[in-house]
A and B are shown apart, each in its own frame.
Chain A
Amino acid sequence: QLQVQESGPGLVKPSETLSLTCTVSGGSISRASYYWGWIRQPPGKGLEYIGSIYYSGTTYHNPSLKSRVTISVDTSKNQISLKMRSVTVADTAVYYCARHPAGGWGYFDPWGQGTLVTVSS
């Protein structure tokens, strides 16, 4: 059964870089026609799409976050990574990883359990 698991520091200081990893198990991250995405959810608020990556390195980005975000893939480790620069308290959120089909069809599944990142000094 395909599973994804997010990991990374739970506390980041303002102005620093948030770094998270998503590890895929039960399947290959290099499977054709699927992207691997990041979504976040501030406490008590809604879902916000951050971006996605294909195993070849092609990416999608939320235009509002693109300037601060880098998403990368390591097929040898079956992992994707998220780096978000110059974080502020507004970046405090649960960060989820999920798979979705290429193009504008299908749906995000499975989702990881999410990891809470708090931005605070």
Chain B
Amino acid sequence: NFMLTQPHSVSESPGKTVTISCTRSSGSIASNFVQWYQQRPGSSPTNVIYEDTQRPSGVPDRFSGSIDSSSNSASLTISGLKTEDEADYYCQSYDTSHWVFGGGTRLTVL
């Protein structure tokens, strides 16, 4: 079993770029795909990145994902920040016969 660790919160100004990390505690980050979900207050989560780097249709290309084996982590990068991007973001990956979520990162756009 492994855990996914995310920073509790990040903040950045509109128009800027922010990166949220997700570090896997054991085993290689490249062993299983990483997904990212956005959850706005009072709403259900929606996917913004799947299979490390893929965007579902309808998600703007300001959202991008990557993995870094040297730090055993995945990252979600949001460029050209908009106030509507303010939300909680969760990473997720697959372990043997179950899924693991990171603890979530609160993004504040101010």
Q: Which residues of A contact B (CB under 8 A)?
A: 37, 39, 46-49, 51-52, 60-63, 96, 100, 103-109, 111-114
15 contacts between A and B (CB under 8 A): A46-B90, A46-B102, A47-B37, A47-B39, A47-B90, A47-B92, A60-B99, A61-B97, A61-B98, A62-B98, A63-B98, A104-B32, A108-B37, A108-B99, A109-B47
Contact of A47 among B1, B33, B98, B101 (CB under 8 A): B101
* Minimal beta-carbon separation of B14 from chain A (angstroms): 26
Q: Which residues of B contact A (CB under 8 A)?
A: 1, 32-33, 35, 37, 39, 44-47, 50-51, 56, 88, 90, 92-94, 97-104
A114–B104 contact, CB under 8 A? no
Contact of B50 among A46, A63, A106, A111 (CB under 8 A): A106
Chain A residues near B32 (CB-CB < 8 A) = 104
Main secondary structure on chain A at its contact with chain B?
loop
Chain A residues near B98 (CB-CB < 8 A) = 49, 51, 60-63
Evaluate whether A46 and B51 lie within 8 angstroms (CB atoms) in the complex, with A105-B33, A109-B56 already known. no
Chain A residues near B50 (CB-CB < 8 A) = 106-107
Residue of B nearest to A103 (CB): B94
Given contacts A47-B90, A60-B99, A103-B94, 4 further A-B contacts (CB under 8 A): A105-B33, A107-B50, A108-B92, A108-B99
